[in-house]
């Protein structure tokens, strides 16, 4: 297994820890906003960058290295040590948070350069991983490679903003940075991974590989045109492209839904979260078009404040991204632990099955809490159009939303810690004993063992 600090599991644990910490900060920000005592504005930047850089980026790199580790057992050379990469990502994340906390954009820019260098160091591995998917029916290699290019582009923009090569307050630069990083990198990569892994999780084949290939080509093309609309400030063009993206995402969702229906599989925690994430992805795209249409008249048809913006963005951050993370870890952790903790493939299965049982426990409660909590943010934001922020109903809705999200996070964290703490000896010992009992008479017969 090698040194733990260089193992893909280290990236996964570190990334999830950042994600959990930033989620708690986000719940604190929500609570402060609902009580009319908003927390400092820099804390929002800390929350977002801890989530995306410390959390999501590390989790994706951990998933990439875990996939490479698995394929190395069938002839692909294993990855070298990535201890430096792990340290660079965590140190640069701390640097970003300190820089935003003290308002020092030079520190933010230097930390951004470190993140950019870390991504460049792993870029060749990510590019080769995309090459491995060329033989898959859905051919998700283009999405993976597009997301890598978008990540590099988003980091370059962020560094330029930090050093004021692009004015920090420039609306176009911020909008471009946000969408290139969030949609171009994270959403595209997760869509490609979902199209690839959902059939594997359900032990079936993708309903329509042709439809999947259409999505793989159409989504990046539509996104590039949408970025052009942002740069030219053409709202009508943006809305038209947003409508086309809704259609494309709808086809993607239909393909996954039919795959699930045709599988006849009862499902598990991973597939449940992936399907829920797909639902929120469709909802996020529709809401994005509606938000844009709201600004066609001047003044806007409906007032749009920070709470409404938070509700919209968290349809992506929680509804799509966090659901996908839960799915990936629910499926990947048992595979990774079984593969790396037990070398004998014949006796991996009992241990793997035990871990799967752990990750599937109380999955309905976990899924319901995360989904209803995400919807609660939207309900909370909508209520403020008609009800004062300090009203009892808004306060009750806030605490219910926080309770649902916190319960789901706590439950999943407990299960993840449980799975990591279960050692192979707990489940493999009976298998080893059975195997030894079977072979002992044969060994005695051929003189391989001595009688006591």
User: Tokens for 158?
Assistant: 């962020």
Residue 165's pLDDT is 84
* Residue whose entry in the numeric block shows the structure tokens 């001047």: 298
User: Tokens for 170?
Assistant: 């420039």
Minimum mean pLDDT among 46-55, 301-310, 321-330, 333-342: which range?
301-310
Q: Which whole number is the average pLDDT over 339-363? A: 87
Residue with the larger pLDDT of the pair 165 and 327: 327
CA distance 16 to 56: 8
Residue 20's pLDDT is 94
Minimum mean pLDDT among 260-274, 331-345, 435-449: which range?
435-449
Q: Which whole number is the average pLDDT over 280-287? A: 91
Residue 56's pLDDT is 95
Q: Which of the four pLDDT bands, split at 50, 70 and 90, describes residue 30? A: confident
Residue 225's pLDDT is 86
| Angle ∠(191,160,14) on CA atoms, nearest 5 | 50
CA distance 422 to 349: 14
Q: Name every residue whose Cβ is closer than 8 Å to that of residue 400 and which is 6 or more positions away in sequence.
A: 376
Element (H or E) spanning 291, and its range? helix 269-294
Whether pLDDT at 451 is above 50: no
Average pLDDT over the chain, rounded to an integer:
83
What pLDDT digit, counting tens, does each position of 406-433 carry?
999 999 999 999 999 998 864 444 444 4
Q: Which of the four pLDDT bands, split at 50, 70 and 90, describes residue 70? A: low
Minimum mean pLDDT among 3-12, 79-88, 171-180: which range?
3-12
DSSP 303-322: ---HHHHHHHHHIIIIIIII
Whether pLDDT at 130 is above 50: yes
Residue 156's pLDDT is 93
Q: Name every residue whose Cβ is closer than 8 Å to that of residue 409 and which is 6 or more positions away in sequence.
A: 20, 23, 370
Regarding pTM above 0.75, the answer is yes
Q: Which of the four pLDDT bands, split at 50, 70 and 90, describes residue 74? A: very low
Q: Which of 278, 304, 307 is nearest to 371 (CA)?
A: 278
Q: Which whole number is the average pLDDT over 312-321? A: 87
What pLDDT digit, counting tens, does each position of 141-187 carry?
788 889 999 999 999 999 998 888 876 556 677 778 888 888 889 99
CA distance 373 to 159: 34
What share of the chain in percent tops pLDDT 90? 41
């Amino acid at each position: 297994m090698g040194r733990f600090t260089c193992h893909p599991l280290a990236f996964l644990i570190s990334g999830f820890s950042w994600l959990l910490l930033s989620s708690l900060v986000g719940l604190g920000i929500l609570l402060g906003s609902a009580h009319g005592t908003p927390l400092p504005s820099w804390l929002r930047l800390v929350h977002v960058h801890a989530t995306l850089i410390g959390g999501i980026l590390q989790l994706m790199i951990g998933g990439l290295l875990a996939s490479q580790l698995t394929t190395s057992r069938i002839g692909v050379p294993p990855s070298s040590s990535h201890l430096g990469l792990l340290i660079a990502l965590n140190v640069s994340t701390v640097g970003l948070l300190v820089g935003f906390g003290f308002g020092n954009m030079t520190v933010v820019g230097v930390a951004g350069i470190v993140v950019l260098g870390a991504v460049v160091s792993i870029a060749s591995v990510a590019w080769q991983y995309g090459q491995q998917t060329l033989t898959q029916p859905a051919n998700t290699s283009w999405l993976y490679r597009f997301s890598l290019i978008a990540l590099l582009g988003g980091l370059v923009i962020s560094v330029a903003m930090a050093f004021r090569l692009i004015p920090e307050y420039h609306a176009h630069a911020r909008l471009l940075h946000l969408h290139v990083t969030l949609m171009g990198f994270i959403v595209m990569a997760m869509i490609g991974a979902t199209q690839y892994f959902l059939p594997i999780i359900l032990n079936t084949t993708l309903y329509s590989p042709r439809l999947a290939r259409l999505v793989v080509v159409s989504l990046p093309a539509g996104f590039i045109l949408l970025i052009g609309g942002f740069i030219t400030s053409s709202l009508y063009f943006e809305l038209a492209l947003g409508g086309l993206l809704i259609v494309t995402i709808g086809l993607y969702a239909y393909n996954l839904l039919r795959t699930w229906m045709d599988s006849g599989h009862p499902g598990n925690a991973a597939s449940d979260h992936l399907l829920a994430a797909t639902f929120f992805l469709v909802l996020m795209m529709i809401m994005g078009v509606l938000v844009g249409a709201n600004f066609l008249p001047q003044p806007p048809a409906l007032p749009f404040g920070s709470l409404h913006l938070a509700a919209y963005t968290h349809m992506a951050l929680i509804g799509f991204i966090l659901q996908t993370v839960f799915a990936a870890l629910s499926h990947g952790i048992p595979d990774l632990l079984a593969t790396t903790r037990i070398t004998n493939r014949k006796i991996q299965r009992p241990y793997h099955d035990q871990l799967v049982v752990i990750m599937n426990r109380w999955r309905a409660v976990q899924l319901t809490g995360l989904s209803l909590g995400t919807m609660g943010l939207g309900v909370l934001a909508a209520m403020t159009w008609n009800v004062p922020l300090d009203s009892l109903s808004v306060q009750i809705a806030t605490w219910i939303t926080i309770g649902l999200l916190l319960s789901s996070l706590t439950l999943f964290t407990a299960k993840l810690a449980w799975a990591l703490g279960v050692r192979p000896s707990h489940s493999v010992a009976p298998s080893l004993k059975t195997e030894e009992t079977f072979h002992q008479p044969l060994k005695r017969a051929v003189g391989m063992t001595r009688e006591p």
